[in-house]
Each structure stands twice: as C-alpha cells, then as structure tokens.
A and B are shown apart, each in its own frame.
Chain A
C-alpha cells in the first residue's frame, strides 16, 4: 500500500481538476489491486486531452471516475467546480463508449434524443436538437433508420450525437474508434476535431493510438502500466485546425516518437 499522501489543492484556474486520485479495489481479505495512483491532472476549458497508456493501465478507469461511473479511493475530481456526481445530475457530462450502445428498439433520431427525453425536455425541442446534432455528425437521411441498419462508424456518430444532446460541458470518449477500420477511423477523427472546434466542448479521449492522440489533442497524458501513474504530459503544439495532412509534418513525427518512447519506458 502506498503511504497516505497529502492531497494538493486543485488548481483554481483549471476547468477540470483531478488531484491526488488513487483507486484500489478488491474485497477485504483478497489481494488488493492498485489500479491508479497519485493522479494529478488539470484541464482547461475547451481543451482536448488524451489519456494514453498500455492496456490495463487504468486509463478507462480514470475516465469512468471522471464520468461518475466509478468512485476513487482517494483524491478528488472537480468539473467546473462540481463533483462528478453533481455534474452528471446536471447533465454536464457526455460519455461515448467503445461500443455505440444504441437502443436497438429506437430509431436513430430517438436514440440521439434519449438523454433529453430522460431529462423531460418537451418533444418539439428534443426533435429540434436531435435534428441539429444529426446534421453536426453527418447522419442526415438516417433519422428514421434502425441502429442495426447502420455501419459501425455511423453507429459511433450517433453515439457522439447522443452524448452531445444535453450540451454537456465535458465530453468523455473511451476508445470510441477502437473497433473501426483505419479509413473510417481517420474520417471520424476529423469529425471529432471539427465537433470540438464548433462546440468548444472540453474533451477527454482515451486511446491506445499515439498517432490518434497527437492528431487530435492539445495535451497528452501518458500513463504507466499498473498501477497507472502519470508518466509524463506531452503538449501538442501543432497549429489548429488540423487536417489529416498534419501527419506528414516533421513535428507530428517528433511528437509520435516522443510518445512512443514514453510508452516503451513502461514495458522495458
């Protein structure tokens, strides 16, 4: 067990602040697993941050803690000054999972409007918002399609639209494009960059692709293997808006190399 650690005060200027966060799980009497240790991250409003690390490093776990799907053992997360639970109840969190998790019994438009429906938003406004999001994510013409009729990439677009329906202040994405082919993935990366630019939403993306992280992020947080600790921050100083051609940039390659070196430290 790590010795108790003084929790540093969260940086007041940061929009999201994660301070002294650790997660240990396991029932009493069992071997305790240290999933995350001493995580301190500050994220500015509108920033795009990626969490990257080897599988099992706890990056998804960290994202789930931010989204109030899990509670940390120690430490604190604040989103715009509120605890994750408050932020969630105020519908300020949008979450996109690796699986699109659409409701097969609802048409695409009703899937996108689901969080609004659960909040009790009137029907006319729900439909207006859903229509706006359908345009934003490029699903025009599929309003009345069933989820099963859509390809994997389109299902993920719908999941992003659904996550944005309540105008959240933070969008959390857990390896959302991991199951997609490279071309679809490139296209959705560009869509995500555009959505981030247009909406100005703060984004935290979990990915295992350093190239994806460099392409999209302002800042990359590299985590070590279990227990997940912060190995280093990489600030991505590539100009915005970025297109896929930024990958031909020398600076892009430098950053990818830097990231890979940092990741490799973990396995060596």
Chain B
C-alpha cells in the first residue's frame, strides 16, 4: 500500500504531474466566480461555475440520460464508420484502379460540411437514433479510409523482400506485414474520429432530435437556460476526453513497439 503511495509521490509520478493542472483549474474557477460577482455579469452572458454545478447536480438523471444517448450515438457511429472506412482503405491499398477511380470523390465528399449533409441523412434514416449514428459514421468514414490506405502502403520494401525470400503467401503478407505497419496510421485516424464522432452526434441532434446533448443545447438556447447549456457542453467535452483516453489506451496495447520507443527516449 505504502508502495503505491510512494509511486504516486515520486518525481514524474501521478502527483508530480497532476498538481499543476489541478491548481490551474481551482484558480480559474475562483477567478471566474470572482469576476462574475465583481462585474455583475448576467447569467445569460456567462453563468458562474456554481450555477453550472447546480444545473448538473439538481435532478442529474435526465442530463446524464441525454449524455448517455449522445455517447451511444458517437460510439456506434465511430465503430461503424471506422470499420467501413478501414475496408474501403484496404480495397484502395490493393487496387490502384479502384483507388484512382474513387479517391477523388472520397476526398471531395470529405470536404462536405457535416451540417449540410446531416439533414439529408436524417431524411434517409428517419427520426430515431439510427440517423444520428449514420451522420457520425459518415464523419468517421473518411479519416479511416485515407489512413488505412496510407498505412497499408507504408510498409518497408526491404521487409517485402524478406517476406518474398521466406516464401510468404498473400494473407501472411497482409496480416504479418502490411497490417501491423498500418496500425500507427490507423490510430491516427481513430483519434481524429473520436473528435469527429462527438461532433457528428451533436450536430445531427441539432438538426432534429428529442433527446441527446445536442437536443439539450438547442432547447436550453431557445429558453436561455444558460447554466444548463454550459452543463451540456461540459458533458460533451467529458465524453470526448474519456473516449480519447480509451483509444490512447488501446494504442498502447496494440502498438506497444511505438510506446516502448517513446519510453526509451
């Protein structure tokens, strides 16, 4: 037990690294409260930290329920979009002709603003959660397609020769050489998708929804319930951070050779 405490307290341990941001957080909250009191800033311009906290803690059930819906849409869309992107990226990496034919349109589609596409997708997929997942999947699709393709093409040519000398077959080349070489790129795409998937879910809820954080933000905006709006914004940020941390953890597990290289520098 005291061993754990020692570990937390040592230089570059948890406490050593965590105290500056914690201290900054406390300072910002105090300053924020103070400024509002001194300058008498109206709550619709800037609600105080205390009022946001109250908006979260009094009757937290519905807010967390909405957050759960948004989280579900973001994660489901992330998984579906990333998987489909990975498949298309693999096809592109293996077929020059298909890549040449479709890549310009994929890149063009990638530049369409999600707010422009969301209403169309909602018309297609209906008013339920499914359409929000579809918008999120749409956003998650492109980063993975492009990174998967780039990753699968990034293998070392000499390693290809090594596999040739060892008389490796096609599946062996894919699973033991090209896919592992692609993993760092895949994680670049996945990390982009974490952000995009939360954006996608909330934007889709802006367009049409009766639940989710986007819905809370829109209704709070219409009624000028600013502490509630800020609370919803905070929750969406927390979802993004937790999701990102999960992907970073997966990266450490699946790309340990990269992590170890960083440790040794």
Contacts and interface: CB of A to CB of B under 8 A. Distances in A.
Contacts of B180: 103, 105
Contact of B161 (A94, A101, A149): A101
Nearest to A120: B172
A94 B166 CA distance: 8
Q: Give the residue among A93, A94, A101, A162 with the most B Cβ atoms within 10 A.
A: A101
Interface string B162-206: 111111100010001100110100000000000000000000000
Interface in A116-159: 117-119, 146-149
A106 B181 CA distance: 11
B261 A148 contact: yes
Top-10 shortest CB links A-B: A101-B158, A115-B166, A105-B180, A95-B165, A118-B166, A148-B261, A118-B168, A101-B159, A105-B257, A97-B158
23 contacts: A68-B164, A69-B164, A69-B165, A88-B167, A91-B167, A93-B165, A95-B162, A97-B161, A97-B162, A101-B162, A103-B159, A105-B180, A105-B255, A105-B257, A114-B166, A118-B163, A118-B176, A119-B167, A146-B256, A146-B257, A148-B260, A148-B261, A149-B260
Contacts of A114: 162, 166, 176
A76 to B, nearest CB: 20
Contacts of A69: 161, 164-165
Contacts of B261: 146, 148
Given A101-B156, A101-B162, A118 B264 contact: no
A72 interface: no
A13 interface: no
Given A105-B183, A118-B166, A148-B261, 9 more contacts: A91-B166, A91-B167, A103-B176, A104-B257, A105-B181, A115-B165, A118-B168, A146-B260, A148-B264
Interface of A: 67-69, 88-89, 91, 93-95, 97, 99, 101, 103-106, 114-115, 117-119, 146-149, 162, 166
Interface in B14-72: none
Contacts of B255: 105
Contacts of A99: 156, 158
Contacts of A105: 180-181, 183, 255, 257
B259 to A, nearest CB: 10
Nearest to A91: B167
Contacts of A149: 260, 264
A94 B165 CA distance: 7
A69 B157 CA distance: 12
Contacts of A119: 166-167
A89 B167 CA distance: 6
Nearest to A95: B165
A105 B181 CA distance: 8
